[in-house]
Amino acid sequence: MTWTRYAHGQLLLSWKVFWRNRRSTFIGFLLPVLLDLFVAAPLRDKEIGGVSAAGYVTVGFIGLALVTSFVNLLNAVVARRDDLVLKRLRGTEVPPSAVFAGQIGASGIVVLLQAVVLGTLSVGLFHAPLPADPALLLLTLVAGYLLFALLAVALSGLTPSAETSPLVATPVLMLCMFGAGVATPLSSLPSWLQGPAHALPLTPVVQALRTAWFGKSFGQESWNGGPLADLSFLHTWQSAGPALLITALWTAGVLLAARRLFRWEPRRA
């Protein structure tokens, strides 16, 4: 029971600091929403795979919100390690698992909030339907978030200092933004790029998010392809299954890396 209390305390602390820091509020909350407005608004009258193209892109940006939360978590973990805040936290009775749970939980709530904002945009402004399978959507979102949160913990160990964290975070953000099918289907990439694009961790997450939202089998869609058929409840899960499995494998690998690489204290010079 006390574990919950510690994790809750850590969550409240991370939450407060998140909203008080302009940089984290911008990168961690506003950025995907603003980017989506820029990219999706011009596509309001187009369709892809039988759904609103602007709505399609907006669901992609829910996926991108996982990556901006990754960027924010990476910055936060590295900065707090270098400032010796993590060391101080470790001097308290709070078990490390509760420290992680609280921090990751606070960012997770921000991601949920972003999903609600983007989803409202998608439905209200871009005439997308309501989610076809909310349970699958939430599961995919949580699984994808966990993957990127752990990736931030793992890569913090390879990031020497707060000043160098953009050097680690920006390539991941750029690759996922342009290579994971966020704003445009993978089929519009040159054929030699499609293999590497499928290997990115965000690609299966975005695909499963769209399948869950629209209830259609996304993955092979293209701008000039026809509408995709509607899937039944069971077939939606079946269609998203491989993508979720790949996400789970990624998460397992990243968890192992995080356990090896994470450091509580900066390397002393």
Partner 1 sequence: MKEIPEVIEVVELRQSYGDYEAVRGASFTVRRGELFALLGTNGAGKTTTLEVVEGYRPPTAGTVRVLGLDPYADGPALRRRTGVMLQEGGFFKELTVRETVDAWRRFSGRARATADVLGQVRLDTKAGTRVGQLSGGERRRLDLALAVLNDPELLFLDEPTTGMDPEARRNTWQLVRELRAAGTTVVLTTHYLEEAQQLADRVAIMDAGRITATGTVAEVLSGQRSRITFPLPFATTASDLPRLPGADLAVQGDAVSYAVARTAPALAVLHDWAGARGVELDGIEVRHASLEDVFLALAGDQRTASDDHGTVRPDHHSKAAAR
Residues lying near partner 1 in the complex (CB under 8 A): 2, 5-6, 8-10, 12-13, 16-17, 20-21, 80, 83-85, 87-95, 267-269
7 versus 154: smaller Cβ distance to partner 1: 7
CB 67 within 8 Å of CB 111: no
Least gap, CB of 44 to partner 1 (angstroms): 39
Give the distance from CA 71 to its chain's centroid: 10
- The three-state secondary structure class of 225 is coil
Least gap, CB of 86 to partner 1 (angstroms): 8
The whole-angstrom separation of Cα 133 and Cα 38 is 27
10 versus 239: smaller Cβ distance to partner 1: 10
Find the helix packing angle between 53-82 and 134-156, rounded to 10°: 30
Least gap, CB of 16 to partner 1 (angstroms): 7
6 versus 70: smaller Cβ distance to partner 1: 6
DSSP letter at 94 equals -
**Burial class of residue 20 (count of CB atoms within 10 Å of its CB; 0-12, 13-18, 19+):** exposed
Least gap, CB of 79 to partner 1 (angstroms): 9
Least gap, CB of 24 to partner 1 (angstroms): 9
Q: With DSSP H G I counted as helix, E B as strand and the rest as coil, what are the percentages for the chain, rounded to 5?
A: 75, 0, 25
The whole-angstrom separation of Cα 85 and Cα 98 is 15
24 versus 184: smaller Cβ distance to partner 1: 24
Q: Which residue has the tokens 């949580």?
A: 142
Q: Which residue has the tokens 């509020």?
A: 25
Cα end-to-end span (Å), the chain: 40
23 versus 46: smaller Cβ distance to partner 1: 23
79 versus 183: smaller Cβ distance to partner 1: 79
198 versus 263: smaller Cβ distance to partner 1: 263
CB 253 within 8 Å of CB 86: no
Nearest CA to 17 among 136, 102, 129, 123?
A: 102
Least gap, CB of 88 to partner 1 (angstroms): 4
Least gap, CB of 30 to partner 1 (angstroms): 17
